[in-house]
């Protein structure tokens, strides 16, 4: 018995939501097929199949019967991404199946037109042949869709309308309708390819080769050949081939292609560097820390692809609506055909003709594509600017948030606090600082990192901690040293232990009133001293918060830091502050604000993970780190507070685009429905109205790719 295996295919010709629905319905009817994921934006299908029940060949045959071409994805990820998107966006239109249908139907229409002028008596027969021959591939797809679970497809509506037109003697118009339908399908495919160009732009910044240093020799190798630990040479003007750490050289690097940050960033030994960035003016030796399959650009592309595949709430609603809309449209068409002749004695030919026009106008393609096209363009537009959003649902919600909650350290501040004061209570200052550094060594918290850095700057010998530190979130970190257990914790925690005198409390209050964070170093029950640290606000924090207020969004600060320090920072930035919040208290605060409306939480993605998850939308600050890419619902690669306002502005522009698209789709159909019922719309204009609406909706969505985010 064969085990279930995962299968992924690229589906050429799948350009809209209706196409994806047909393929999904067909796959659901195959035995042993599960976990079906169809993404029309990327022309991809992934599923799990039990090959004892359904073979891969049967799956591909079913897809081909629906009129699409299944293609196995290429090999290594970097080349696969390039090839996949190049094939989807750069192939000549006349070489595609839809292009060949346009050329064929145009040739048939031209031939019929010629025959009608050379031998007028054969005119009707010529147009009839042109219609029926041009309709063969469309009708085949309609029947395959009906058998596979999608009876109300655009191909079915089209086939019924064209055959009906031939039956009533309107073969000339039927032939024109078939040709215009083929043109509309082709234009939809071209427009969808333009939308995929948003991701292709990211792919193109991945260099194809790298200069690999091995001993004294340097050779050019494909980026896919780079392994973790390899050393590469990056010359001025070169793109960084993969993520790494600078081990030699100094230069400025343009990270705009990755983060959207326009100002070049200085790099020196120890600096992190990202794939796709451009080295400006100095040669660098870089140690590779991620392979081509896992570097920042590849991960961003993968995340955007997954996000485009997820459906926004509005898209899910439109999908549900369209399932009822199409059958209702067919019923309405039947009523238009039957009611006037049967009840009013009207002319059958006239109302059959008008009913067929209603059938063509009612096609839901433009409506179905209205939301996903806008979402896909919005996600790609954001990715180009270092604004990553993990799906349509998050992108929609961002535009509706009423409150944005910020963590303090590393979010509103630089995240690089420095030791400013050391108050010795017992023992020697250097010894107390060294013990505190021993407890905090290995910590990723900015305060702990700053304490270790200060001890190292002074050249102190840091004692060995046995077994590592034990953290009590929001309270203290304790480690066993050779001299006994030492803790580094908050003044509040120390006060709860009963270790602080009134004099010490006053010293703490004085330091905190200056906007400094104070930690208490204790050995057992004895206080060894106080260490004060200060973290300055980010240079763009005040401007970023002002932009949020201009958008009508209220910014607040939620922090575990002490009230006086938080108040000093909050006062400088004009923020409402809730301080001394343990992790569970942050969740309560988030819930309070959430009851008033959607709330976004902005944090560093590690300590704030529970709050990020509990908010309506979690936003991670991170400059392209793992945290920024893997935590929360959105990430700011620029690592700037202004990015939050840009995210909200992008979301609102996308939401506006969605409603414009829906209005275009329904508005055009409503207008042409009225003109059809009064006899002013011929069949060719009805199909032009439908395909025209689809192209207009897609073109409107593509405007988001050129959006200038204004806040």
Known catalytic residues are 407
Alpha helices in 10-122 (DSSP H): 17-28, 56-65, 77-90, 97-118
Cα–Cα distance list, 327 to 64, 334, 361, 417 (Å): 25, 11, 13, 64
Helix or strand (DSSP H, E) at 361: helix 348-361
Q: Name the residue with tokens 């270092």.
A: 386
Q: What is the CA radius of gyration of the chain?
A: 32
Distance of CA 355 to the CA centre of its chain: 42
Q: Copy the structure tokens of residue 314.
A: 């509005």
Distance of CA 233 to the CA centre of its chain: 32
- The rounded distance, in Å, linking the Cα atoms of 142 and 157 is 8
Q: Name the residue with tokens 């990820």.
A: 77
β-pairing, 278-279 vs 284-288, is: unpaired
Cα–Cα distance list, 647 to 162, 179, 639, 670 (Å): 47, 43, 13, 34
Beta-carbon count within 10 A of 226 CB = 23
Q: Copy the structure tokens of residue 665.
A: 């789709």
Alpha helices in 149-234 (DSSP H): 154-167, 171-203
- The rounded distance, in Å, linking the Cα atoms of 321 and 698 is 20
DSSP codes of every residue in 691-703 = HHHHHHHHHHHHG
Q: Copy the structure tokens of residue 19.
A: 């196409």
Residue 681, phi then psi, degrees to nearest 5: -120, 110
- The rounded distance, in Å, linking the Cα atoms of 697 and 663 is 9
Report which DSSP code applies to 225.
Answer: G
Q: Name the residue with tokens 């329904």.
A: 666
**Nearest 5°: CA angle at 274, between 702 and 304?**
30
- The rounded distance, in Å, linking the Cα atoms of 196 and 88 is 8
Q: Copy the structure tokens of residue 405.
A: 């909650």
Direct distance between the N- and C-terminal alpha carbons of the chain, in angstroms, rounded to an integer: 59
Within 8 A by CB and 6+ apart from 7, the residues are: 46, 47, 48, 49, 56, 59
Residue 227, phi then psi, degrees to nearest 5: -120, 160
């Amino acid at each position: 018995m064969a085990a279930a295996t995962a299968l992924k295919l690229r589906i050429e010709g799948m350009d809209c939501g209706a196409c994806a629905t047909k393929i999904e319905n067909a796959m659901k009817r195959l035995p042993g097929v599960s976990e079906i994921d169809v993404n029309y934006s990327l022309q991809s299908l992934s599923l799990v199949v039990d090959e004892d029940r359904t073979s891969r060949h049967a799956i591909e045959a079913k897809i081909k019967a629906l009129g699409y071409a299944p293609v196995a994805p290429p090999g290594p990820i970097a080349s696969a991404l390039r090839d996949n998107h190049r094939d989807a966006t750069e192939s000549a239109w006349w070489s595609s199946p839809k292009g060949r249908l346009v050329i064929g139907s145009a040739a048939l229409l031209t031939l019929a037109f010629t025959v009608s002028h050379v031998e007028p008596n054969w005119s009707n027969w010529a147009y009839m042949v042109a219609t029926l021959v041009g309709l063969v591939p469309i009708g085949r797809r309609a029947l395959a869709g009906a058998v596979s679970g999608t009876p109300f497809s655009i191909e079915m509506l089209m086939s019924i309308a064209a055959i009906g037109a031939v039956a009533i003697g309107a073969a000339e118009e039927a032939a024109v309708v078939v040709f215009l339908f083929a043109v509309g399908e082709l234009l939809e495919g071209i427009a969808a390819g333009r939308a995929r160009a948003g991701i292709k732009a990211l792919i193109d910044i991945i260099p194809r080769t790298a200069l690999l240093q091995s001993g004294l020799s340097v050779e050019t190798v494909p980026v896919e050949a780079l392994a973790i630990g390899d050393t590469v040479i990056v010359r001025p003007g070169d793109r960084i081939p993969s993520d790494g750490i600078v081990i030699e050289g100094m230069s400025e690097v343009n990270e705009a292609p990755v983060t959207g940050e326009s100002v070049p960033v200085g790099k020196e030994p120890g600096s992190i560097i990202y794939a796709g960035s451009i080295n400006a003016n100095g040669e660098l030796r870089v140690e590779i820390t991620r392979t081509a399959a896992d570097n920042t650009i590849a991960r961003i592309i993968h995340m955007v692809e997954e996000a485009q595949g997820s459906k926004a709430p509005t898209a899910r609603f439109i999908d549900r609506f369209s399932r009822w809309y199409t059958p209702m449209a067919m019923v309405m068409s039947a009523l238009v055909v039957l009611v006037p002749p049967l009840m009013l004695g009207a002319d059958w030919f006239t109302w059959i003709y008008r009913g067929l026009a209603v059938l063509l106008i009612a096609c839901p393609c433009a409506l179905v594509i209205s939301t996903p096209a806008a979402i896909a363009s919005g996600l790609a537009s954001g990715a180009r600017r270092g604004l990553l959003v993990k799906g349509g649902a998050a992108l929609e919600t961002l535009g509706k948030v009423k409150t944005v909650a910020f963590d303090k350290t590393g979010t509103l501040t630089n995240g690089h606090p420095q030791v400013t004061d050391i108050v010795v209570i017992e023992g020697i200052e250097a010894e107390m600082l060294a013990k505190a550094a021993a407890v905090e060594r290995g910590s990723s918290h900015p305060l702990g990192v700053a304490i270790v850095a200060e001890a190292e700057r002074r050249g102190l010998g840091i004692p060995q901690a046995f077994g590592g530190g034990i953290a009590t979130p929001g309270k203290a970190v304790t480690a066993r040293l050779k001299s006994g257990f030492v803790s580094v914790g908050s003044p509040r925690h120390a006060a709860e232990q009963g270790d602080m005198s009134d004099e010490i409390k006053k010293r703490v209050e004085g330091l905190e009133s200056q906007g400094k964070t104070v930690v208490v170093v204790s050995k057992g029950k004895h206080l060894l001293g106080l260490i004060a640290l200060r973290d300055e606000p980010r240079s763009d924090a005040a401007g970023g918060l002002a932009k949020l207020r201009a958008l009508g969004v209220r910014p607040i600060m939620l922090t575990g830091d002490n009230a006086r320090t938080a108040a000093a920072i909050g006062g400088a930035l004009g923020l409402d502050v809730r301080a001394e919040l343990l992790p569970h208290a942050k969740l309560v605060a988030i819930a309070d604000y959430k009851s008033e409306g959607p709330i976004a939480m902005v944090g560093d993605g590690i300590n704030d993970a529970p709050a990020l998850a509990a908010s309506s939308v979690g936003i991670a600050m991170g400059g392209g780190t793992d945290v920024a890419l893997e935590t929360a619902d959105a990430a700011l690669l620029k690592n700037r507070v202004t990015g939050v306002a840009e995210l909200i502005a992008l979301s609102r522009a996308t939401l506006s685009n969605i409603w414009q698209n829906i209005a275009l789709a329904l508005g055009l159909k409503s207008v042409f429905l009225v003109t059809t019922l009064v006899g002013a719309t011929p069949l060719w204009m009805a199909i032009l109205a439908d395909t025209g609406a689809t192209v207009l909706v897609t073109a409107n969505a593509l405007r988001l790719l050129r959006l200038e985010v204004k806040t």
